[in-house]
Structure 1
Amino acid sequence: MLAIQSVSLFAGTKCLLDNANLTLHPGQKVGIIGRNGVGKSTLFKAILGQQTLDAGQIAIPANWQIGYVQQEDLDSDLSALDYVLSGDTLYYQLINQLKKAEQQNDEAAMVALHDQLDHIQAYQVPLKAEQLLFGLGFEKADLSREYRAFSGGWQVRLKLAKALMQRSDLLLLDEPTNHLDIEAVAWLEQWLAAYSGAVLLISHDRHFLDQVVTGIALLEEQRIAFYSGNFESYERQRSMQLMQQQALLDKQKQRMQHLKSFISRFKAKASKAKQAQSRVKALERMEEIAPLQATNPFRFEFFNPDHLPDPMLQIEQVGFGYEVSKPLLHSVNLVLRAGDRIGLVGVNGSGKSTFLKLIVQELKPQTGKLFYAKGLKIGYFAQHQVEALDLDATPVQTLLRNFETITEQQARDFLGGFGFSHDQALSPIRHFSGGEKARLSLAVIVYQKPNLIILDEPTNHLDMDARDALDEALQAFDGALIVVSHDRHMLAGIVDQYWWVHEGQVSLFHGDLDAYLQQRLLLLKQQKLAKTEADTLTKQPGLVEESGLNKKQQRQQNAEQRKRLQQATQTQRKQLEKVNKQLVVKQQRMDELHALLADDAIYQADQLVQLNKLLAEQANCQSQLDELEMAWLVLEEEIEEIVKKFD
């Protein structure tokens, strides 16, 4: 096990940890939480031996391999697939040695290396790498592209995939959901839940933590406090602790009253809102954790709009593409009504950010029109706006430049609600963290008093307190919202309906977020097989037409082609069906084991035997799942090879 014993850590003269302790058992998954700057990332560096301890020790079993995301900025000429494969250092070294032996025609070395590769089941490694890349949103055509050809955000995904490829007993992940879309986050949740090793995970994403971890380690006041269970369990335990602190009682009562008033007001509207019940439940749950919320240093509040035109925006036959020959969006028709709360979903690259830029007129449509209601005022948050802040200006100067009527004292008072102290409000932005810059950009938007707020990944770089404050402010906002976010907790609390950007269209998705993600994950599992079959069947009619056959003959020949293809792959399909059934059974058992390990009671001293038994079963079950998934992929490959023969 990993044992952090009486550890003290300093950053310069600032004490981050003092006599801190934490124990991590094999297979245990623990979320590391705490406000920005408390030392979470520094603790990871200490575990990796990259940071010297000022006191105490960190004991790690000698045979444990640690997997982590390497931060070096490589200008690599490796392909995406080879870059990820290099994460499995044992496999990658043996493959390179084999290539060298082949070049030298060293038969003895080749035989020995093939034996070693067989021993580590090397045939499974490339398939695992492809599965990781597909899960993180890459397409088949991306596998052969060079690492350096990808943008920064996609390079982050490649680094994550490389880390997941490592043969590790302990996985350290620092904010792994940043730069992922919500579909990739959902896939990563499943991957980590099924991972048999131990995990230490830094994250500010509540839903992600709930789905993955069985314990929470809170870094606060230079100590580490451990809470068994997932994040929701932590919130209840922590809230009860805070309720017992008399110093918080008055503030807690005031906070509870505010929440009760808001919930009561919202319920009156909720009967007419789509999918409102989930939001009401989320708000009611806030009552349980009100003492925890009372400690939040941030207090955002969006001004209620003076005017709510209805409809706010009409989109008619809008099309756009960065290349005329390759339209990204076409014939989009939508209406945004006053009070609509929209979650914009779709895989990375589908056109979500482009669609938002069309709405805010940063881009002009190539076809169609957007009709804006009189009095519409849009507040737009996106990462490029954060990066455009004048780094030499102070927060106060930023507000004074943007709003002529505000006084310096009003600016200071207003910025205080966004967590900027007197000194910070007068400090150059250049020295701010990513989260502080994001909060300042949000402050500028709030002061604009918009009636339509558009947010493109607003929670990146925000810690949990800032996310909570933003979440509450958006819940109370009376205007319309359009939000792109990978934070499922935020979306569930503020969104009533979803617009899906898919295959050049933006349309209403009939269902909630869970239904959407289940559909995406199912498509992800089936995409490889479906694509190869579709390619074959769409190619055949073209060949038939060239031969000069009439339409009836074309249909007959296409039908015969499909029949032959079905017969040729019949054995593999039957086996696939059998494997799929086994996968369902094993995944259900994994879900049951995950629930058992999320129970606080299992980590009591008198339950250690049962805990070890469950962890062993989980590891065995995961091994069987891995074998079944590999069998599934092998069958897919066999079907693909047969399909190619029909091309």
Structure 2
Amino acid sequence: MLTVTNLEYRIGGRVLIDNASVQISDGHKVGLIGRNGAGKTTFFNLLTGRLHADGGEITIGTRESMGTVAQEAPDGDTALIDIVLAADKERASLLAESETATDPERIAEIHTRLADIGAHSATARAATILAGLGFDEAAQMRPISDFSGGWKMRVALAAILFAEPDILLLDEPTNHLDLEAALWLEGYLASYPKTIILISHDRELLNKVPNRILHLENGKITQYTGNYDRFEQTKREAEALAAAQAAKQAAQREHIQKFVDRFRYKASKARQAQSRLKMLERMEPIMALSSERAITFQLPDPEELPPPILTMDQCSVGYGDNPPILKDLNLRIDMDDRIALLGANGNGKTTLLRMLAGRLANRDGEMRKSNKLTIGYFAQNQLDELEAHHTAITQILAHRPKWTDREARTHLGAFGFVQDKAETKVSSLSGGEKARLALACICLDKPHILLLDEPTNHLDMDSRQALVQALGDYQGAVILVSHDPYLVNACADRLWLVSDGSCRSFDGDLEEYKSLLLQQRREERRAQKQQKQGEKDPAQNKKQDRKARADARANSAHLRKAAKQAEKQVEKLQSEIDLVNAKLADPDSYGNDTGKLIAMNKKLADLTRDLEDAETAWLEAAEALEEATA
């Protein structure tokens, strides 16, 4: 159990966390939410000890471990699978000790503990996690130095998931993931057997994983039961109730004050007036819950163009002299299109957007577009194009030097920059504010097509909702790449799948795409298993394949016998282990004969190891039999 009592933290004289208390029970999955800058990451750093509180106390169970994703991405020549396996410190330590231990009792303890923590299945579990996060079997064996920063952070995430701490802290875990990996992570976390505290602005993730919500607002932490949708509903109800009570009290105060004002100077009523005046003084004011100011902005409407505004006919695109990344592109875009691009990272989604934006020329085929067509491209690194020393106004004027200050303010106002925010330096803006400013710059030309590559990476929940509403009102076309399922579902009415070197329409919704991914992963695992077992050579022709299956069926009697024998061996070893455990549980065994006790422990360790081997052999025999008789 994690208990936070009267926690206080100040930064630069400002109280960021003010006398906050919360208790999180074992096994609860908790979403920590709040606007950017509210102190969510600071709260995590206080929990992990990276920061020290100015007051209060944080306590966890004596045997509980806490873990979070490493702040720095791993590097070096170590293979990905080995980095993830090394994250389980206990397993790595026990395996190292087992190589040198000589004391039979200690050897028994080591192997018993290794069995308890499932060490025999660790490699398969690590490989499953890496595969879910987008690393195929070949990639898992490559050194971490081969990968870019975003992929390295995926490995860091895989490592902490594999370590499986009792309290898992995750700060925006989907930021470095594509939609496919984010969907896998959602399912993995939903079934995580221990406590999770999750910072995220991904609405779908906060609805599928947490059963509690912690809302950090004005330095206070309030706990709500249920997921994010339930939190929103509960908070709205609380705000409405508080507003009604405050209005009722205000009317009551007004009535009493009128009585006092009318009769306080009349001798016959002076005592009653004085009594009511004291009543007013004793009346504790009820404050209406202040809902945080909603963020709104509006995208400019482009000039109407006749359809189609862009078409591709057998186009291809790539980099340099290398083979094309995408080919056979036959696509059409109209002004009312809302399209989301699906496909794993590396398949070419960003390449397609760069081609549409005119930053990459098509090699073959023909791309036709209206002469008046303007395109706005929000790249993943779009915020890097902002000048830190500029204010929001000077950033706009740098693109429109002939505009007046008033014209710049009017444009910024449409993107939620009002009053002093328009004069705030870029370096002092939050991530969400920078994203809106970048979007304001992109929309100066009133684009007919908006190309958005992960536009929500720096947006908090309210800013994301504002973006959804703005895109809903926008009169141009939108082509979107996002790992946020809520944004895709809310904004897109068409899906294009970028895979196998091309881009085609996907006939289905996001749930159907998720089912397709699960099916593909099952088929990939089955194919890998077949390849490892050597039961099917991909180069075989159909005749050889039929012969192989016929031979396998002919050998099924032998496989069935082997599976039966393996099962009997497992049962025999389990019975022997039960007998040894029964003797070890007998107090009479702990007499003066130490040698006998050591021998029993050594026998238990040997039997446990033999049982693991027997279980593996049994599973392999059962799988071989299943394949042969399928």
Q: Same fold (TM over 0.5)?
A: yes
Give per-residue Cα distances to partners, 1:351-371, cap 9 Å, x unaligned.
111111111111122222221
Q: Pick closer, same or farther for the CA change 1:560–1:448 going to 2, 3 Å.
A: same
Alpha-carbon offset, residue 419 of structure 1: 4.6
Residue 217 of structure 1 pairs with residue 217 of structure 2: no
Spell out the pairing of 1:153-164 with structure 2 (5 A cutoff). 153-164=150-161
Whole-angstrom distance in 1 between the partners of 2:151 and 2:557? 38
Residue in structure 2 matching 1:230, options 227, 230, 239 = 227
Spell out the pairing of 1:131-150 with structure 2 (5 A cutoff). 131-150=128-147
Alignment match, 2:547: 560
Give per-residue Cα distances to partners, 1:478-514, cap 9 Å, x unaligned.
2111111111111111111100011112111111111
Residues 35-44 or 9-18, more deviating: 9-18
Residues 120-129 or 316-325, more deviating: 316-325
Residue 169 of structure 1 pairs with residue 188 of structure 2: no
SS at match of 1:393: coil
Aligned length, in residue pairs: 537
Give per-residue Cα distances to partners, 1:198-221, cap 9 Å, x unaligned.
111111111110000111111111
Residue 361 of structure 1 pairs with residue 358 of structure 2: yes
Alignment match, 1:187: 184
Contact 1:215 1:230 in 2 (8 A): yes
Whole-angstrom distance in 1 between the partners of 2:80 and 2:516? 26
CA RMSD of aligned residues (A): 3.6
Q: Pick closer, same or farther for the CA change 1:99–1:458 going to 2, 3 Å.
A: farther
Give per-residue Cα distances to partners, 1:17-60, cap 9 Å, x unaligned.
11111111111111000001111111111111222111211121
Alignment match, 1:504: 501
Whole-angstrom distance in 1 between the partners of 2:344 and 2:555? 34
Alignment match, 1:618: none
Instruction: Return the index of the structure with the highest Cα Rg.
Output: 2
Whole-angstrom distance in 2 between the partners of 1:77 and 1:109? 33
Report % sequence identity.
37
Contact 2:299 2:415 in 1 (8 A): no
Give per-residue Cα distances to partners, 1:217-240, cap 9 Å, x unaligned.
111111111111111111111112
Whole-angstrom distance in 2 between the partners of 1:123 and 1:53? 41
Whole-angstrom distance in 2 between the partners of 1:449 and 1:178? 29
SS at match of 1:383: coil
For structure 1, the residue ranges without an aligned partner over 5 or more in a row are 251-290, 544-553, 577-630
Alignment match, 2:257: none
Contact 2:183 2:514 in 1 (8 A): yes
Q: Pick closer, same or farther for the CA change 1:16–1:176 going to 2, 3 Å.
A: same
Spell out the pairing of 1:67-82 with structure 2 (5 A cutoff). 67-82=67-82
Contact 2:341 2:480 in 1 (8 A): yes
Spell out the pairing of 1:440-459 with structure 2 (5 A cutoff). 440-459=437-456
Q: Pick closer, same or farther for the CA change 1:297–1:235 going to 2, 3 Å.
A: closer
Alpha-carbon offset, residue 69 of structure 1: 0.7
Spell out the pairing of 1:21-170 with structure 2 (5 A cutoff). 21-98=21-98, 114=111, 116-170=113-167
Whole-angstrom distance in 2 between the partners of 1:133 and 1:540? 26
Residue 343 of structure 1 pairs with residue 340 of structure 2: yes
Aligned-partner residue type, residue 201 of structure 2: H
SS at match of 1:165: helix
Alpha-carbon offset, residue 453 of structure 1: 0.9
Q: Pick closer, same or farther for the CA change 1:92–1:445 going to 2, 3 Å.
A: same
Contact 1:235 1:292 in 2 (8 A): no
Q: Pick closer, same or farther for the CA change 1:14–1:337 going to 2, 3 Å.
A: same
Q: Pick closer, same or farther for the CA change 1:571–1:39 going to 2, 3 Å.
A: farther
Contact 1:318 1:368 in 2 (8 A): yes
Whole-angstrom distance in 1 between the partners of 2:624 and 2:173? 35
Whole-angstrom distance in 2 between the partners of 1:80 and 1:569? 38
Q: Pick closer, same or farther for the CA change 1:194–1:390 going to 2, 3 Å.
A: same
Whole-angstrom distance in 1 between the partners of 2:559 and 2:428? 60
Residue in structure 2 matching 1:518, options 507, 515, 518 = 515
Give per-residue Cα distances to partners, 1:65-87, cap 9 Å, x unaligned.
11211113443322111111121
Residue 207 of structure 1 pairs with residue 196 of structure 2: no
Whole-angstrom distance in 1 between the partners of 2:245 and 2:473? 24
Structure 1-normalised TM-score? Answer: 0.75
Whole-angstrom distance in 2 between the partners of 1:434 and 1:636? 51
Contact 1:314 1:336 in 2 (8 A): yes
Alignment match, 1:615: none
Aligned-partner residue type, residue 559 of structure 1: R
SS at match of 2:303: coil
Aligned-partner residue type, residue 32 of structure 1: L
Residue 332 of structure 1 pairs with residue 319 of structure 2: no
Whole-angstrom distance in 2 between the partners of 1:110 and 1:324? 59
Whole-angstrom distance in 2 between the partners of 1:444 and 1:568? 70
Q: Pick closer, same or farther for the CA change 1:417–1:147 going to 2, 3 Å.
A: same
Residues 225-234 or 558-567, more deviating: 558-567
Contact 1:88 1:165 in 2 (8 A): yes
Contact 1:568 1:642 in 2 (8 A): no
Whole-angstrom distance in 1 between the partners of 2:615 and 2:515? 19
Alpha-carbon offset, residue 349 of structure 1: 1.1
SS at match of 1:83: helix
Whole-angstrom distance in 2 between the partners of 1:164 and 1:398? 42
Aligned-partner residue type, residue 185 of structure 1: A
Whole-angstrom distance in 2 between the partners of 1:519 and 1:478? 32
SS at match of 2:447: coil
Residue 469 of structure 1 pairs with residue 466 of structure 2: yes
Give per-residue Cα distances to partners, 1:110-157, cap 9 Å, x unaligned.
887555533432111111100100111111111111112211111111
Alignment match, 1:7: 7
Alignment match, 2:586: none
Aligned-partner residue type, residue 480 of structure 2: V
Alignment match, 1:408: 405
Whole-angstrom distance in 1 between the partners of 2:293 and 2:424? 23
Whole-angstrom distance in 2 between the partners of 1:477 and 1:634? 61
Q: Pick closer, same or farther for the CA change 1:642–1:139 going to 2, 3 Å.
A: farther
Aligned-partner residue type, residue 510 of structure 1: D
Q: Pick closer, same or farther for the CA change 1:247–1:481 going to 2, 3 Å.
A: farther
Give per-residue Cα distances to partners, 1:557-594, cap 9 Å, x unaligned.
33213433566689999x99xxxxxxxxxxxxxxxxxx
Contact 2:375 2:450 in 1 (8 A): yes
Residue in structure 2 matching 1:319, options 298, 316, 319 = 316
Whole-angstrom distance in 2 between the partners of 1:567 and 1:312? 62
Contact 2:73 2:149 in 1 (8 A): no
Q: Pick closer, same or farther for the CA change 1:540–1:519 going to 2, 3 Å.
A: closer
SS at match of 2:365: strand
Runs of 4+ in 1 over 6 A off after TM superposition: 106-112, 247-250, 291-294, 534-539, 566-573, 631-644
Whole-angstrom distance in 1 between the partners of 2:548 and 2:294? 67
Contact 1:320 1:327 in 2 (8 A): yes
Q: Pick closer, same or farther for the CA change 1:213–1:117 going to 2, 3 Å.
A: same
Contact 2:243 2:289 in 1 (8 A): no
Spell out the pairing of 1:233-272 with structure 2 (5 A cutoff). 233-246=230-243
SS at match of 1:524: helix
Alignment match, 1:587: none
Whole-angstrom distance in 2 between the partners of 1:483 and 1:292? 36
SS at match of 1:371: strand
Contact 1:537 1:562 in 2 (8 A): no
Aligned-partner residue type, residue 556 of structure 1: K
